[in-house]
A and B are shown apart, each in its own frame.
Chain A
């Protein structure tokens, strides 16, 4: 890496407004516009109105109430409607692109040292590497591409992708062999077999996804599109026939600009304009939480999950065992035991050691003072498998597994042996404590549930997601942890293939299942699960099999992804509802205006519709159309950030969202249209605005008054 600066996907990159602006105009290109059918309809109507505004005399039957300012107003607002829609999409794309740029920076110009068959190496551009090639990477060099370590071990800095500053250990053999292109070797030297070709690596996939190239409409998005299209076609029929039907009666005659305005207002343009932005920003949010989703479909599936299969170790428990209880040998005082535990662990920096010190410190046991230089630390070694301390007087304090202590030569008394066996059955790990060659007691270590996991599991239950804990522990241990963490179900004594069995069973019952995994033997289950979140430090096989990869190696991230998936759907649903209830208010503004414009003011039935008391019909139409356009930029932040989501039962969510977005849509449209009407009425009364209007009408070759 040329740049030493920390870059991370997690950071929200700055949006280039100049680019957004340029893109928003570029999207007026019909080839681009046609991708969003609803906006394409508005685009066609906009062009139609441009023609009508310039040549009203060519359409005497249609442009009945032609006035340059009115027609120009409608045309300009239609333009704004399109432009605002483009801006929302352009911002979402820009955010994605900025993330992609950051990622691209990482891999640009990387060269690799390829290992040739004769054992020599040569420098090649990373682009020419093929799957199966072997490269040599020394300390300080970047990893050219995704691969698996075949020889050696190294500390790898993956902060460019994950933002996590601590380097991670990777070595050949086992489950921690995979390295990501873009990372950097900090220490050590490795030989790595390339597992992806350029353009196919995770980095490339992420780039394509956030840039929107690989974004395909998700099933729900398609269904919503069909609904909106059907509604648009029906409204088109209503409005076009209204033109003929109104002219059939002698009550009113209808003006074309008004009809176009009515149609655009009634079309669900709000949701139509924001739909692409909602989809893109959903992917962006996933990427920002450091998860690489291989498709938008996977993200949406996450919102639908019924069952999460969670590993006990690392997901539900912290993974380190902590001291919970001391046991004294039959003829030994408890104080002796505590002192032995304290002394043997004082200088032990492992989480287990620290937890023993913490537990011991809770007792008011007098502890020998350790004078500097008066003792010697006996660190944990692979041969001894114990750790402890030797005091100046030669007394050695050790703690270690019962087996290790016995190997060391200290005999474990029968009662202690019995209680150790008991503790093991309950899922705890007993350690023996020795003073000299005499075993004085035991300390029990236990798996501890992660702080906060209980709440998250409760949240999941509120969302309707069942959690199943998978562990290799025996039933008793598993049950204890399950109760403590609040999971709905658990599977004890699980073998690697158990997960696959569980997934098959859940799927057979019609549920959507997710799991996390990192090992090669997790791969089949990851592939079978509806959402398989692989850990980045797992094997390539696991990452290939899953449909998401978490760069932070945090299995609880699955919960975050579920929320993002749900938020994505809720945002679409909420804005659709908003769009539809808006329509009700728009009707009450435009329909009376049509009658008033035609001079049919005296009809009390129709006048009763004019609840907003909009007396100037042209301003009424303009203010409604303007509201319809302005609501798009107002809702852009909501579309990009997603509707605020907190886990609740489904019926509560429905009730809340109906009130917020249903009722909100109704009220905001009534209020908004009235305010815009008052504003337009005020402006049209100002002399300089009138002057400007005349000037514009004069400057543009607009049709005669």
Chain B
């Protein structure tokens, strides 16, 4: 155990996390100003461009939308993206930038991929190197990466505005989208891409080079605009990789430094959003309960993950040929990185709903798999760009509702009352999550899809492993995470799992978004009540701990039975 955890990498872990949390208040305040349409750095160049874009769309920042209209615009844009991706992938063989002559995708794979990229999931059912063309990646997939991240951020901004408005409007979707791209995603992804190039990540339109290794023969090394792809993918919590091996590939993530840098890129937006919230509602202290909750949960998760990857499994010590396994679970872990650093990347990636992998999750310890699953159950610690924080706000609405009852007052948050409708929408958004994991799973079982039926083997461990793989896949899709636990015994590329996955991702994305906008709209329609001494003070340690407990209990309560069937049953 000691051999796997060295002090220096632990310091690296603490340092990078501390660094991002130190930047987060500042960057969050910037995000807040962006969504308040306040003057920010870069207005001189970008504001005229944005004005032009608004004129083109036919809207104006002064035109505020109610939730219904906002949702309509959101569905229009996202629907457009979805259709474009579907058509592009289906006909990619006939479209530009296809030097490797990749064939068009099948109807169901195109459906899965289009849904996956539109919903910020980026769960891929194809092999990047042979099933998607460079054109599809650069022109279609990257477009979705911008717009899906911008959609998430816009939804969060709209929901948060509810706390400071009284006229029932939540903002202008088109304006939010444009500013998300021009002020956040585009400039930062360019800067981060340049940093990655500096670290050795390829950035070229050349498709591949042929290498001649000393072992003889030839090796095709696939290339492309990897640095820009990678930086946007992680910044916007998309998580798709240029390579199938994602961030475990030395071309996408060459060094320990780049590994830590990418961790910072993934953390930036999700960890800053609570501060953007505080900026918009003009109450600095209100960011801390959320940051506190996120830090507590991520710290515990990371601790458990590292510990269970490091602890030797006594059951395996005696098995011949598994000598290495006696020293923790290094199977599947990229050996270029130390255990704490690799774990940090993996945990932050899943908890921030990025879903990029730098290890083979199918091979890690079952407890560590459970840790990752838990991050997808909460989807909000800190969760994906915008939607993660919006989910956390929904958890807070439910937590404050129960807490409000416990202190003997009609619950209110930031001066806005929490009423039946708020509870209804929050409960819908949070409780639909287990349903869209468990129901498709059961349907798959009853349907008898060959993807899993053939996989159910006769040994106990194998069936539990398959179970975990299916559970992991559906949870990842439902939470729009994209993290994949590739298990040899589960074939998720059958039409059944492609279609199911597409439906799960779309429902898991747009139903909660609709609920978030509704809750934002409800708050926006209420007049604000001045805080009094009888109001529950949310910016407090007690509330932070309480919110953490509610989050853990509600998330765990619904998933414990299936955890027992999968990862827990796998613990040997």
Contact = CB atoms under 8 A, between A and B. Distances in A.
Interface of A: 219-220, 222-224, 226-227, 230-231, 233-235, 237-242, 244-252, 262, 266, 300, 303-304, 306, 461-466, 509-511, 565-570, 572-574, 576-577, 580-581, 583-584, 587, 591, 594-595, 600, 603-606, 608-609, 645, 649-651, 653-655, 657-658, 661-662
Nearest to B366: A605
Contact of A649 (B403, B424, B533): B533
A241 B439 contact: yes
Given A237-B434, A574-B405, A654-B407, 11 more contacts: A231-B427, A234-B434, A237-B439, A238-B434, A238-B438, A241-B442, A464-B535, A569-B410, A600-B569, A645-B408, A649-B533
Contact of A510 (B408, B415, B419): B415
Given A234-B435, A237-B435, A245-B562, A651 B366 contact: no
Interface stretch (B271-279, B335-343, B459-467, B496-504): B459-467
A574 B567 CA distance: 34
Interface stretch (B7-15, B173-181, B202-210, B536-544): B536-544
A653 B408 contact: yes
A372 B568 CA distance: 99
A591 B564 contact: yes
B529 interface: yes
Interface string B388-429: 000000000010011111111110000100111011100110
Nearest to A225: B420
Interface string B211-245: 00000000000000000000000000000000000
A584 B557 contact: yes
B405 to A, nearest CB: 3
Contacts of B460: 250-251, 600, 603
A226 B466 CA distance: 36
A306 B532 contact: yes
B402 A573 contact: yes
Contact of B532 (A224, A464, A581, A603): A464
Nearest to A565: B408
Contacts of B567: 605
A507 to B, nearest CB: 10
B450 to A, nearest CB: 14
Contacts of B466: 249
B439 A304 contact: no
Contact of A650 (B438, B439, B528, B534): B534
The secondary-structure label for the interface of chain B is helix
Nearest to A666: B553
B409 A304 contact: yes
Contacts of A576: 402, 405
A583 B554 CA distance: 10
Given A227-B427, A238-B558, A300 B571 contact: no
Contacts of A222: 420
B139 interface: no
B503 to A, nearest CB: 16
Interface in B519-572: 527-530, 532-537, 540, 542-543, 546, 549, 553, 557-562, 564-565, 567-572
Contact of B543 (A300, A462, A577, A654): A654
Contact of A574 (B406, B409, B562): B406
Contact of B564 (A461, A606, A658): A606
Contacts of A234: 431, 434-435, 558
Contacts of A220: 405, 410
A63 B277 CA distance: 53
Contacts of B546: 654, 658
A116 B567 CA distance: 88
Interface in B460-477: 460, 463-464, 466-467
B445 interface: yes
Contacts of B558: 234-235, 238
28 contacts: A223-B422, A223-B423, A224-B401, A224-B405, A226-B424, A230-B423, A230-B431, A237-B438, A245-B438, A245-B441, A248-B445, A250-B460, A251-B464, A511-B529, A568-B408, A570-B405, A572-B405, A580-B557, A581-B553, A583-B553, A587-B561, A605-B570, A606-B564, A606-B571, A653-B406, A654-B406, A654-B407, A657-B406
Contacts, number: 226
- The 5 nearest A-B residue pairs measured at CB: A464-B534, A573-B405, A605-B571, A566-B408, A230-B427
Contact of B403 (A247, A266, A566, A573): A573
Interface string B361-380: 00000100000000000000
A219 B404 CA distance: 13
Most chain A Cβ neighbours within 10 Å, of B422, B438, B546: B438
B456 interface: yes
A248 B467 contact: yes
B419 A223 contact: yes
B319 interface: no
Contact of B530 (A237, A511, A650, A653): A511
Interface residues of B, number: 68
A219 B420 contact: yes
B458 interface: yes
Given A223-B418, A567-B408, A654 B527 contact: no
Contacts of A567: 408
Interface of B: 366, 398, 401-410, 415, 418-420, 422-424, 427-428, 431, 434-435, 438-439, 441-442, 445-446, 452, 456, 458, 460, 463-464, 466-467, 527-530, 532-537, 540, 542-543, 546, 549, 553, 557-562, 564-565, 567-572
A266 B546 CA distance: 21
A306 B409 CA distance: 10
Most buried by A among B403, B446, B529: B403
Contacts of B537: 650-651
Nearest to B457: A250
A304 B407 CA distance: 10
A238 B561 contact: yes
A650 B407 contact: yes
Contacts of B536: 650-651, 654
A604 B407 contact: no
Contact of B419 (A219, A580, A651): A219
Contacts of A237: 434-435, 438-439
A609 B571 CA distance: 12
A661 B405 CA distance: 13
A573 B569 contact: no
A430 B427 CA distance: 66
Nearest to B440: A241
B406 A658 contact: yes
Contacts of A569: 404-405, 408-410
Contacts of A568: 408
Contact of B409 (A230, A247, A604, A650): A650
Nearest to A251: B569
Contact of B533 (A223, A224, A464, A577): A464
A241 B441 contact: yes
Contacts of A466: 532
Contacts of B569: 249, 251, 595, 600, 603, 605-606
A509 B431 CA distance: 35
Given A251-B464, A606-B568, A570 B406 contact: yes
A477 to B, nearest CB: 28
A27 B183 CA distance: 63
Contacts of B438: 237-238, 241-242, 245
B408 A303 contact: yes
Contacts of A250: 456, 458, 460, 463
A46 B435 CA distance: 25
A120 B558 CA distance: 77
Contacts of B419: 219, 223
A223 B401 contact: yes
B263 to A, nearest CB: 29
B530 to A, nearest CB: 6
Contact of B427 (A226, A239, A580): A226
A230 B568 contact: no
